[in-house]
Structure 1
Amino acid sequence: MIVRLLAAATLLSAASTAALANDTMANTASGGLVFETTDAVEMVSEDLAISETEIVVRYVFRNISGRDVTSTVAFPMPDVKVELYEGDRSVPSGDINNPLTFKTLVDGQPVEMARETRAVVGETDVTEKLTALGLPLEPFGEAAGERLNALDVAARKDALLSGLAMTEEEQEGDAWDQPLIPHWTFRATYHWTQTFPTGRELRVEHRYEPSVYANLGTMLGDADFAAETAALRKTYCIDDALMATLKTAAKTSEFGQIPYAERHVDYVLVTGANWARPIGDFRLTVDKGSPKNLVSFCAEGVTKTGPTTFEVRKTDFTPTQDLNVLILVPTGG
């Protein structure tokens, strides 16, 4: 099944300089949030529900240190970058300060979150460089491409050579004279300061609309995209049975094309390993949205619990990879 999505909580120490995801502890450094581990607070449980329209995650934490602990808690979102093949990434809200309509409750009470945004090429931070050029940190949307291509020739050349930009394909002549496409990666982390009282449990809930990558069709099974098909199958653990379903559907569709469109939902899960102990009780629910949709993601012990829902239960769980969910929606073609 598929999911690379979205968020996990992490802790940040008030006196240090680091931050994390799937709720995790973190510190604030001059370069931004830095993730770190803690032996003071354990994650008793995590209940994660993922769909194309909403992500809800509920945690129960317990302070086992014998003293109150105050720390920055960070919830990192998945990296976002522009893909060359045809598709679109949704931005649920026009609110530039909260585009995913992110909401947090602590013991049932609303908590105001801060959001840190950065841009990188590889592991090089280019936030200040983009700002100096007047470019938005978000590479998706019309503004980034328009402003990138409005730069003078010298700046365009530098953007291409430094990896800030790419061209759709190699063309004759100077590449910086061709239309440029943003090639940096956008990173966003929500965070807040939290006190974990000693000797009692603390309940935290995050709720938001995911930024879904949507493709008008699918490359799965297309002979011209063998490498891409292999990569998708690895990322989303797509089995032979699903591939056979797609092949059968193509035989009865117009022009012999696979009549499904891709929806990608990602979630940052590995930061759940940054707490004092493994996650005591972990539950994942994936909702594919419609009984006609297909879904694939990497997980063991998946149980179908309803017409559209699938569940995974784990005890003493230490996540070792993020969650990537692929939903295939019929196109009717």
Structure 2
Amino acid sequence: MRQRPNFTPARALAGRLMIAHVTQPSRLALAALAALAALALTFAIGLSCSGALANDSTAMIDATGIRLIETHAISLDVEDLYLSPQQVRIHYEFVNNSDQNQHMLVAFPVPEIDSHPETNYAISPVSPLNFLDFHVSSNGQDIMPGIEIKLTLNGVDFTSDILKTGIPLSRFDPTYYDKLEALSEPDRMHLASLGLIDWQPGEEYIEPKWKMQTIYYWYQDFPANSRTVIDHSYSPVVGGGIISEEYGVRDNIDRFCIDDGFIRGFRRLLAKGGHAETLSKEVRYILKTANNWLGPIGDFRLVIDKEKPENLVTLCINGIRKIAPTQFEFRARNYVPDQDIDMMVVEMPDW
């Protein structure tokens, strides 16, 4: 029987890092990152929805974490994962079981970002490039990762064509919307001919079609017969919006393992707030990607945080237990993930 904490839903998105052997560092951007970007698409870290969204909903980005590519010398002994609508934190302890030092490219591929300015991601990043506020350290030392952004359509890189028109590289650039509206007619015709925008001559409105692909990356040394600790954190791009019992709860029973106890709690929350609707936050963490490290995860720990004691949270997982007024824990040894984490947190705002 699936177990769940006695509180209402929330959902967030998280990600897994990827690690690849690098034999020729000078070819990083050409080969290794290209391979990582292609691989990122294969394990479903994409947008949960695309196109323009209603004003009361937000787009969500699935989250993932570290992944090893083409190496079976390194085992993942510890993974400690913290999920909340505000932050994702992951602590890894890798062990190089070989007699050789391993020099690896580590990458964090972000799911594709919709270029349409009306797609609401509900974030106000300080940096248009590091829009997830991504931080990473290795053995306690901070690392400044590189950031590669490509603007693509159907897997084809059109970054150069788009930047030549004056459109910013990041859709989170504060000038992005104004630059789109200010495109000259020749630039519009060129982008339309490439299929990058939906536009007809004489129309003012344009609809961008490309996707923004982002990868954070750095080089990592894994000394022979040694343990390496990697910690990273970022702000998830959560989904959700205004929900009612009919729309948001009962139509998500299977997805979030919602039971009668949760529904009763939801009704009490609505009665206390004096409204027929409330807000949900949804976080999805891609956990069951094909991990290529040696063996299962030795010691896996998951902590989910609903942020406020009065909030509700629900997800599908067995063996979870309450450890604090807002936190719940799941632990496993020699863990091989067989499902992703879909979490919904529900709160009553001060309307």
Residue in structure 1 matched with residue 99 of structure 2 by the alignment: 66
Residue in structure 2 matched with residue 171 of structure 1 by the alignment: none
- Identity percentage over the alignment? 26
Match of 1:116 among 148, 161, 165: 148
Higher relative contact order (CA closer than 8 Å, sequence separation 6+): 2
Deviation at 1:108, TM superposition (A): 1.5
Match of 2:122 among 80, 89, 100: 89
- C-alpha separation between the residues in 2 aligned to 1:82 and 1:61? 36
How do 1:12-161 and structure 2 match up within 5 A? 12-15=20-23, 29=31, 32-34=34-36, 35=39, 36-81=69-114, 87-92=120-125, 94-140=126-172, 143-153=175-185, 155-156=187-188
Deviation at 1:245, TM superposition (A): 4.1
- C-alpha separation between the residues in 2 aligned to 1:176 and 1:218? 40
Task: Report the TM-score, using the length of structure 1 for normalisation.
Answer: 0.75
Moved more, 94-103 or 41-50: 94-103
1:280 aligns with 2:294: no
Distance 1:285 1:240, change over 3 A: same
Match of 1:6 among 8, 14, 17: 14
Count residues in correspondence: 310
Would the aligned equivalents of 1:76 and 1:268 in 2 still touch at CA under 8 Å? no
- C-alpha separation between the residues in 1 aligned to 2:193 and 2:245? 32
CA displacement 1:85-135 (0-9 Å, x = unmatched): 98542134x234533333222112222211222334454444334323332
Moved more, 273-282 or 40-49: 273-282
Deviation at 1:41, TM superposition (A): 0.9
Match of 1:289 among 287, 307, 311: 307
Please provide the CA RMSD for this pair: 3.8
- C-alpha separation between the residues in 2 aligned to 1:268 and 1:300? 17
Would the aligned equivalents of 2:129 and 2:172 in 1 still touch at CA under 8 Å? no
CA displacement 1:116-165 (0-9 Å, x = unmatched): 22334454444334323332343356533332232245654776786645
How do 1:116-265 and structure 2 match up within 5 A? 116-140=148-172, 143-153=175-185, 155-156=187-188, 164-165=196-197, 177=203, 179-213=205-239, 215=241, 217-218=242-243, 221-222=246-247, 230=251, 236-239=256-259, 241-246=261-266, 249-250=269-270, 257-258=276-277, 260-265=278-283
Secondary structure of the structure 1 residue equivalent to 2:243: coil
What is the one-letter code of the residue matched to 2:320? V
Moved more, 319-328 or 243-252: 243-252
Would the aligned equivalents of 1:27 and 1:33 in 2 still touch at CA under 8 Å? no
In structure 2, stretches of 5+ residues that fail to align are 1-8, 40-68
Distance 1:127 1:82, change over 3 A: closer
- C-alpha separation between the residues in 2 aligned to 1:83 and 1:302? 39
Task: Report the TM-score, using the length of structure 2 for normalisation.
Answer: 0.72
- C-alpha separation between the residues in 2 aligned to 1:3 and 1:252? 22
